Structure 1
Amino acid sequence: MAESPALPLTVDRESATPLAVQLAEELRTAAADGRLRSGDRLPSTRTLAAQLKVSRTVTAAAYEQLHAEGWIAGRHGSGTYITTAPPGSLRARPRRARTESAAADAIDLRPGSPWVGGIDRSAWRRAWRAAADVAPLRRPQRAGLPAYRAAVAEHLLRHRGLRVSAEFDGGDGESVLATGGTTAALAELAAAVLRRGDTVAVEEPGYQRAVETMRAAGLRVVPAPVDADGLLLDALPLGTRAVYCSPAHQYPLGRRMAAGRRVALVERARREGWLVIEDDYDGELRYDVAPLPLLAALAPDVVVHLGTTSKILTPTLGAGWMVAPPGVVAAVLEHRESTGTGPAAAGQLVVVELARNGDLGRHLRRLRRELSERRTLLVGALLDGGVPVVGDDAGAHLVVPLDSAAAERDLIDAASRSGLLLDGLARHHSGQASWFGIALGYAACSREQLHEAIPVLVRLLTRSTGSVVSPSG
C-alpha cells in the first residue's frame, strides 16, 4: 500500500477494486467520520497522485465521482473543497437546521417516497384503533403474525399473481415471512443465509442502501451493469453467491428486465448455485399492462422475493415480507430465534385491519389512478418541451438522461435555487458512474405542487438542451 503523508488515505494495488473507486470511498469515509470537514481544501489531482504514487487519471476519476455525488466542490482559481455530506447519503452527518428548513419549503421531486397524501385518514385511524384492541403478545411471533402473513399471501395473489402459502410448517413449499422492510430483510439474508466474504452482485446503477447493508455484513459486493433490458448477465463473475435485482421496475432507471434476461438469469442461478434476491420495487404500480410476473413465480427454488408497504402505504408501518425457499426460511427463522430479533407486530396489525376492511385494495386502486395521471401530466409537459424521458409506464418516477456528471450536478443545484429537490443518477453507483441524469419522483409532492413545479422544471431542462440526451434502447 502507498500512504499519503498529508491525508489519511490508502490504496491497495493488490485489490480487485479499481484504485479510483478505492480512493473515492476513502475520501467519502474521511468526510463522513470527521477526519475531513466541510470547507477543508483537498490537494490537486496532480499532487494527490504524486503522494499516493498513482496515475493522475486515478485521482481525477475519483474527484469527478465525488463531484457528481456532492461530496466535493471546485472553486474557480482556488481549488477543490470538501462540502457538507449530500442529502440522502448513508453516511451523511446531520444537516444544519437552516438547510432542513429550506428543504421543508421546497417541492420534493425525488424518487423513493410514497403518496401518503392519498391515504384515507378515516381508514387509517380505524385500522390503528382496531389494532390497539388486539391483546398484547406474550411471546414474539418470529415468522410474523399469522393474520399478517395471510393478508400478504392474499395481496401477492391478487396484485402480483403469486400463489404462496401463508403458513410455515417446515414443509417443502414456499412460505411468507414478515419483515421490517426490504433493507431489514437484506440484513437478515446476509446474516442467516450468506457468509462473510461471499460475492454478491448488485445492479449498477442500483439501490445503494442494499449495497451498504451487504457490505456492512462483510459481503463482497460487485457492480452488475444494466442496460435497457436489465441486468447484463455476462458481466456477473464466476463464484457469485447471490444476485440482487429489481426486475419489475429497476431502481433508479425505471425499466423492466426483459423476459429473455429473466429466463437466462434463473437458468444460470440454478446452474451455478446462485440465490436471486428479487426486490419488487414499485411492482404493484404499472399503468400500461397488468403488473409483470415475478421471478419468484418463475423460479421459486432459487428466488427470494422481497416486498414492502413503504412504497404503497408509508414507512410508518415498518412492515414488509419475504417469500423464499424452505431452506432460506428455516435459516432466517433460526437466526431470529438465536438473536432474539424479528419484525415488530404493530405495523403488521394495521396492515391486517386495512386489508380486512378492503381499505388496502381501495387505496391501491386510488394510488394507481393518481400516479398514472401524474405520470401522464409530467411526461406530456416534458415531451412538449422537447425533453426526452426514460422509464416504463409504471412506478412513481421517471428519468431524464443527461450527458455528464457536471450537467447533472449543475441542474440539481439550479433546481435547488428554484425551490425544487431533485435526485441524480450518479449517486446510485457503487463504482465509477456511467449513467447521468435526473430521477424525477412524482409521488412525494401534492398534485398542486406538481402543477407548480412542472413549468420551472421544463424551463431548467430546456436550458440544459445541450446536456439532455436522447434515451438509448
Structure 2
Amino acid sequence: MPHPVPAASAPLLEPAIELRRDEGRPLAVQLADALRRAAALGQLRGGDRLPSTRALARHLAVSRTVTAAAYEQLHAEGWIVGRHGSGTYVTTTPPGAPAAQPESAPGGGGGAPAGTIRLVPGSPWVSGIDRAAWRRAWRAAADRDPDEFRSPAGVEQYREAVVEHLLRHRGMAAGGPHPGTVLATGGTTAALAELAASALGPGATVAVEEPGYQRAVQTLLAAGVTVVPAPVDHAGIVVRDVPAGVRAVYCSPAHQYPLGGRLPAERRVALVERARAEGWLIVEDDYDGELRYDVAPLPVLASMAPDVVVHLGTTSKILTPTLGVGWLLGPERVVSRVLEHRERTSTGPAPAGQRVLVEYARNGDLGRHLRRLRRELSQRRGLVVSRLAESGVEVFGDEAGAHVVLPLPSAAAEQRVVARAAAHGIVLDGLRRHHHGPHRWTGIALGYASCSRGDLERSTALVARWCGEEVSGGGPASR
C-alpha cells in the first residue's frame, strides 16, 4: 500500500510512494520515479526538505541501498542537492519529471504544459534581452504620432535601419542595398507567401531544400506552387541535384535548416551560375545569419548576385517574434511585383514592430544585444557538445546559430528518443518531420537558446544518455 513520507523527517512533505516488489523494475528506479512524479504534480517543490536515506528506508521497509541509489540518481539529474549538516533538498521541478497532465481548457488549448523544457531549433534567447533597452525602445516608438496610412513598402526609417544592419552584421558591401530595394515584411514565411502570390504565381515550380523548412513548403503549396525537393548534404544544398525547369530555389546557405551546414564558396558560385543560365530566382532564407561565432558572419548571396537573389531576413531569431517583422531585399522587378500585390490586396506588415526596431537599433542596443547573444550561444554550444561527447554522441552542424544535429541510426531510434524526452517533460525535434518526401535523415535537431543554462545542462545530460544508448545499440528495443 502507499506509504506517506513521515512528516517528522520532512515537514510538510507527504507524497504517496508505492514500491512494488512484484514489478520487474528495481526498487531504486521505482522510488526515483515516484519522487519525480511527486515533484511534477506539485507535491514536492523547490526548497522542500526530503527525509534522510536512512529514515526513508526504515519507513518504506527497504534497504538503505535502495534509497541511497534513488537519491544518487536524482542528484546526478540535478534536481536534489545535499546541504552539509542540514539534509537533502529539492532544487527545482526536475527536467526528468513526467509532466503532469493539465486539464483541458474550455474550447481546447495549445502549447506545452508549464515547466516543459523546449530543446527545439528556432527559439530565441529572449531572457537575454536587456529589459531596460526593450522598454526604452517601446516608449520611444509610442512617442511618435499615429500613422494616418500604412506605406506598402514599410516605414522608411525601418528600411534604413535594415540597410544599416545588413552593412554592419551581414557583410553587405557599401553601395549595395538601399532603402528603395528593401521592403518591410511580417517575417520570412509572410514574405515567401507574398513572393508566391506575386513574383512566382500559381503553377510555378519551386525547389526547396530536403530536409528543409516545412513551413515554407506548406506556404508555397497553399499558394498553388508545385514543390520539388532539392537534396542537401552536410555542406548544404547540392547544386548539381537541383531539378531542371524550376522557377525558383528556396535555400538557407548561411546555416542550412535543419542540418546546420554552411554552403561553400564553390557551390555558391555554381548556384548563381545555374540561376542566371536557367532563369531561376534564388530565395535566400537568412533566418539566423547574424549568429555566427567561429568566424565573421558570411556575406549574403544577395551581395554576390543581386540580379537573381531575393534575400529574406527576420528579427524573430535574433530578438523575438513579438515584433513580427522582417525584410525582403531583391531585384527591382521582384520588389515591384510584391508592391503591386500589396496595393491590390491592401496588405503589408504592421508598422508598430518596425518602429520599435528602429528605436532599439538607434542607440546601438541591437548591436550590443547581438554581441551578447553570440557569446552566450557560443558558450551554450560548447556545453551541449561536451556533454554529448561524454556519451559518445556525434554532433554536426557549423559553429553558428542556436542548434546542433544529433544523428541517430534509424527512424525508430529517433521516435524512441523523442518519446522518452516527452515523457520527461522535454520537447525535442526529430529530423523526420523536416522532410516533404521520403525520409533520408534521422536524428535530433537540438536547440539550446530558449531555456535556462541549468535546464539546458540537466536536460542535455538525459538526451545524451538516451542518444548514446541508441547509437551503441543499447536502446530500450534491444534490451
Distance 1:159 1:234 in 2: 30
SS of residue in 1 equivalent to 2:200: coil
Structure 1 residue 255 corresponds to structure 2 residue 261: yes
Residue aligning to 2:471: 465
Residue aligning to 1:212: 218
TM-score, normalised to structure 1's length?
A: 0.76
Is the contact between residue 407 and residue 467 of structure 1 (CA under 8 Å) also seen in structure 2? Answer: no
Is the contact between residue 268 and residue 301 of structure 2 (CA under 8 Å) also seen in structure 1? Answer: yes
Distance 1:206 1:193 in 2: 22
Residue aligning to 1:387: 393
TM-score, normalised to structure 2's length?
A: 0.75
Match of 1:166 among 175, 178, 193: 178
Structure 1 counterpart of 2:118, one-letter code: D
Is the contact between residue 116 and residue 425 of structure 2 (CA under 8 Å) also seen in structure 1? Answer: yes
Structure 2 counterpart of 1:135, one-letter code: D
Measured after TM superposition, the shift of residue 371 of structure 1 is 0.5
Structure 2 counterpart of 1:419, one-letter code: G
Measured after TM superposition, the shift of residue 452 of structure 1 is 2.1
Residue aligning to 1:110: 120
SS of residue in 1 equivalent to 2:195: helix
Structure 1 counterpart of 2:324, one-letter code: G
SS of residue in 2 equivalent to 1:105: coil
Measured after TM superposition, the shift of residue 339 of structure 1 is 0.8
Could you tell which deviates more after superposition, 412-421 or 239-248?
412-421
SS of residue in 2 equivalent to 1:200: strand
Structure 2 counterpart of 1:325, one-letter code: P
Structure 1 residue 287 corresponds to structure 2 residue 293: yes
Alignment of 1:40-51 (within 5 A): none
Deviations 1:183-209 (A, max 9, x none): 000000001101211110000000000
Distance 2:221 2:172 in 1: 31
SS of residue in 2 equivalent to 1:193: helix
Measured after TM superposition, the shift of residue 166 of structure 1 is 3.3
Structure 1 residue 324 corresponds to structure 2 residue 330: yes
Structure 1 residue 361 corresponds to structure 2 residue 346: no
Alignment of 1:21-100 (within 5 A): 96=104
Note the aligned Cα RMSD (angstroms): 1.6
Match of 2:164 among 154, 171, 183: 154
Deviations 1:252-305 (A, max 9, x none): 001111211110000000000000000002101111111111111111100000
Is the contact between residue 409 and residue 470 of structure 2 (CA under 8 Å) also seen in structure 1? Answer: no
**Structure 2 stretches of 5 or more lacking a match?**
1-102, 475-479
Measured after TM superposition, the shift of residue 167 of structure 1 is 2.8
Deviations 1:349-376 (A, max 9, x none): 0000000021111100110000110001
Residue aligning to 1:16: none
Distance 2:456 2:311 in 1: 33
Distance 1:408 1:103 in 2: 22
Residue aligning to 1:334: 340
Distance 2:347 2:414 in 1: 41
Mark the CA change 1:96 to 1:183 in structure 2 (over 3 Å): closer, same or farther. Answer: farther
SS of residue in 2 equivalent to 1:122: helix
Mark the CA change 1:467 to 1:402 in structure 2 (over 3 Å): closer, same or farther. Answer: farther
Distance 1:235 1:101 in 2: 38
Distance 1:437 1:467 in 2: 15
SS of residue in 2 equivalent to 1:108: strand
Could you tell which deviates more after superposition, 200-209 or 137-146?
137-146
Residue aligning to 1:189: 195
Measured after TM superposition, the shift of residue 465 of structure 1 is 2.5
Distance 1:103 1:303 in 2: 41
Is the contact between residue 249 and residue 283 of structure 2 (CA under 8 Å) also seen in structure 1? Answer: yes
Residue aligning to 1:199: 205
Give the structure with higher Rg (CA).
Answer: 2
Measured after TM superposition, the shift of residue 102 of structure 1 is 5.7
Mark the CA change 1:331 to 1:459 in structure 2 (over 3 Å): closer, same or farther. Answer: same
The percentage of aligned residue pairs carrying the same residue is 65
Distance 1:211 1:399 in 2: 21
Distance 1:245 1:124 in 2: 32
Mark the CA change 1:257 to 1:122 in structure 2 (over 3 Å): closer, same or farther. Answer: same
Measured after TM superposition, the shift of residue 238 of structure 1 is 1.9
Structure 1 residue 135 corresponds to structure 2 residue 141: no
Structure 1 counterpart of 2:211, one-letter code: P
Distance 2:342 2:439 in 1: 37
Residue aligning to 1:420: 426
Measured after TM superposition, the shift of residue 235 of structure 1 is 2.2
Residue aligning to 1:275: 281
Alignment of 1:412-451 (within 5 A): 412-451=418-457
Distance 1:138 1:102 in 2: 40
Structure 1 counterpart of 2:300, one-letter code: L
Matched residues, number: 368
Measured after TM superposition, the shift of residue 466 of structure 1 is 3.2
Structure 1 residue 343 corresponds to structure 2 residue 346: no
Residue aligning to 2:403: 397
Distance 1:399 1:300 in 2: 32
SS of residue in 2 equivalent to 1:305: strand
Residue aligning to 2:131: 121
Is the contact between residue 405 and residue 444 of structure 2 (CA under 8 Å) also seen in structure 1? Answer: yes
